[in-house]
């Protein structure tokens, strides 16, 4: 069999959460499914939430999620850490705690298996850091490398968080900087600054465990992690049918170089899909182009978007920052829906 190029990026056409199917198309596909959810399935696929929640008894529920994607960076161990951090994040977005992970692997048959070993080692590092157990997994040969996890977590049922239950008046905290998708696009084009790549990589490897743990005891009404659908699509899901999200564009944390890359049109197809989804409902035309693109940018292993009581927002942002998420910032608030606009800008 002919040897394939052992560069991860040269063996895939897209990477990270930018490879996701667009949210609107996915919703149409899922709408046609018919399955018995049962009375114990508290959160299912119909909710567009981060994970499924299944009630075990009167006190606890399981949180179940799965996530995998092609690489966005050539270093195999780094890719493994990022993919694992991203998959584990959905449990924390629901307010839960990961307890078990299973590897999901697609790998070219002719590619050096040492690369796969490094990917798995990186993933195992993050599973260990998360306090979860690695229980095995499944692997197949494929033309493109892909890696991720199926994760099971646990949560007190009364404390499970949803992505679309924000209370009016609550403030919004974003725990990680935007722009990692744009930086990775610049990296593929050979135009990324080393410091920008280092900042993006560190953000993607960072577990959302610490931000989730910081939320304990606070009046949090909704939470989601910002991933491939970008900030604006996730904000759209959070607004739901009755509330609106007011964002503060000047307060958005982002990787500094990403704004410059956006102005040079180093963008992603997934970002354009996110733009197509949101622009049917809101106008972003008065915002600077770079700010628009940062909000559409698909985030791989992005931060948590948290709706918390206004009186507690500054304290929670401080605690999250003290826990190590140094870019955590208050970026908006939940306001009553006026007209048909689910997202507005201050």
CATH number of residue 143's parent domain: 3.30.1330.10
Looking at residue 35, its pLDDT comes to 66
- Please compute the mean of the pLDDT values over residues 165-176 and round it to a whole number: 98
Indicate whether 205 and 154 sit together in one domain. no
Domain's final residue, options 114, 135, 159: 159
Q: How confident is the model at residue 2 (pLDDT cuts 50, 70, 90)?
A: very low
Query: In a 10 Å sphere around its CB, with 0-12 CB exposed, 13-18 middle and 19+ buried, how is residue 328 labelled?
Result: buried
Indicate whether 182 and 54 sit together in one domain. no
Indicate whether 151 and 206 sit together in one domain. no
- Please compute the mean of the pLDDT values over residues 160-187 and round it to a whole number: 97
Average of per-residue pLDDT values in the chain: 93
Q: Which of 81, 64, 62, 82 has its CA nearest to residue 18?
A: 82
Report DSSP letters for 265-330, one per residue.
T---HHHHHHHHHHTTT---TTS-HHHHHHHHSPPTT--EEEEE-HHHHHHHHHHHHHTT-TT-EE
Looking at residue 286, its pLDDT comes to 95
Indicate whether 144 and 200 sit together in one domain. no
The DSSP letter of residue 213 is H
User: Of 12, 17, 212, 223, which residue is the catalytic one?
Assistant: 17
Q: Which of 10, 148, 141 has its CA nearest to residue 79?
A: 148
Counting the structural domains of the chain, the total is 2
pLDDT in tens, 223-234: 999 999 999 999
Query: In a 10 Å sphere around its CB, with 0-12 CB exposed, 13-18 middle and 19+ buried, how is residue 212 labelled?
Result: buried
> Residue 195: which domain range?
171-345
Looking at residue 147, its pLDDT comes to 98
Domain's final residue, options 124, 139, 159: 159
CA distance 313 to 170: 8
CA distance 104 to 171: 37
Looking at residue 174, its pLDDT comes to 98
Using a pLDDT cut of 70, give the percent of the chain over it.
93
How far CA 136 is from CA of 36, 78, 102, in Å, comes to 28, 20, 5
Q: Give the tokens for residue 169.
A: 């008046």
Which H or E run includes 102? strand 97-107
Indicate if 17 belongs to the active site. yes
Query: In a 10 Å sphere around its CB, with 0-12 CB exposed, 13-18 middle and 19+ buried, how is residue 191 labelled?
Result: middle
Contact between residue 235 and residue 227 where contact means Cβ atoms under 8 Å apart: no
With respect to residue 164, please indicate whether it lies within any of the assigned structural domains: no
Full-model pTM: 0.93
Indicate whether 102 and 180 sit together in one domain. no
With respect to residue 166, please indicate whether it lies within any of the assigned structural domains: no
pLDDT at 20 over 80: no
Which phi and psi angles does 145 have, rounded to 5°? -70, 140
């Amino acid at each position: 069999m002919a040897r394939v190029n052992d560069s991860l990026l040269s063996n895939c056409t897209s990477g990270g959460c930018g490879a996701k199917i667009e949210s609107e198309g996915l919703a149409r596909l899922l709408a046609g499914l018919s399955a018995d959810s049962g009375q114990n399935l508290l959160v299912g696929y119909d909710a567009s939430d981060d994970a499924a929640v299944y009630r075990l008894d009167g006190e606890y529920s399981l949180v179940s999620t799965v996530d995998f994607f092609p690489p966005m960076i050539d270093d195999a161990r780094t890719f493994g850490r990022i993919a694992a951090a991203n998959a584990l994040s959905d449990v924390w977005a629901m307010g839960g705690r990961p307890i078990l992970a299973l590897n999901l692997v697609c790998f070219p048959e002719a590619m050096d298996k040492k690369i796969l070993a490094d990917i798995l080692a990186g993933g195992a590092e993050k599973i260990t850091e998360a306090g979860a157990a690695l229980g095995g997994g499944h692997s197949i040969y494929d033309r493109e490398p892909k890696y991720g996890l199926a994760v099971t977590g646990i949560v007190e049922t009364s404390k499970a968080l949803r992505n679309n239950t924000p209370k009016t008046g609550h403030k919004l905290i974003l725990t990680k900087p935007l722009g990692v998708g744009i930086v990775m696009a610049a990296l593929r084009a050979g135009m990324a600054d080393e410091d920008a790549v280092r900042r993006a990589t560190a953000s993607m490897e960072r577990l959302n465990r610490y931000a989730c743990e910081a939320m304990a005891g606070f009046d949090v009404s909704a939470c989601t992690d910002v991933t491939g659908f970008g900030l604006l699509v996730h904000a759209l899901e959070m607004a739901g049918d009755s509330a609106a999200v007011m964002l503060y564009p000047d307060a958005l944390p982002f990787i500094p170089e990403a704004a410059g890359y956006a102005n040079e049109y180093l963008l992603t197809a997934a970002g354009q899909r996110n733009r197509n989804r949101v622009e049917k409902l809101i106008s972003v035309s008065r915002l600077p182009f770079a700010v628009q693109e940062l909000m559409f940018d698909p985030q791989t292993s992005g931060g948590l978007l948290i709706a918390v009581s206004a009186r507690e927002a500054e304290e929670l942002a401080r605690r999250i920052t003290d826990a190590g998420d140094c870019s955590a910032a208050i970026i908006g608030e939940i306001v009553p829906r006026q007209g048909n606009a689910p997202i507005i800008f201050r």
